[in-house]
Amino acid sequence: MRAQAGDWLVVQSRDITHHARRGQILSVRSADGAPPYWVRWNDDGHEGLVVPGPDSHVEPAPGPSETNAG
């Protein structure tokens, strides 16, 4: 898994009683983009250091052409 600041970390639910969790990656500790990541979670605003598990994936931050489209 590789990421950069601004990307989104998504942790999928392990069962149907919980929702997926999404947070913005604020900083990456390694030069190659490997975990751990400092993440701010959308659902409660909590920030913390995260080592993602196998139920997680990274969604790239939108590029300049995607954010200015319209």
The residue ranking higher by pLDDT, 57 or 66, is: 57
Residue 43 resides in a domain: yes
The mean-pLDDT minimum among 15-19, 45-49, 64-68 falls in 64-68
The mean per-residue pLDDT over the stretch 34-61 comes to 96
62 confidence band (pLDDT: 50, 70, 90): confident
Residue 22 resides in a domain: yes
Number of domains in the chain: 1
Residue 67 resides in a domain: no
CA 42-47-48 angle, 5° bins: 125
CA 31-59-62 angle, 5° bins: 95
Residue 14 resides in a domain: yes
**Is this prediction's pTM over 0.95?**
no
Residue 68 resides in a domain: no
Residue-level pLDDT at 55: 92
For residue 3, is pLDDT > 70?
Answer: yes
Give me the domain span that covers residue 47: 8-61
For residue 23, what are the CA distances in angstroms to 26, 31, 60, 70? 9, 21, 12, 25
Residue 36 resides in a domain: yes
Q: Which residues have CB under 8 Å from 53's CB, separation 6+?
A: 11
Residue 66 resides in a domain: no
Structure tokens, 6: 């601004």
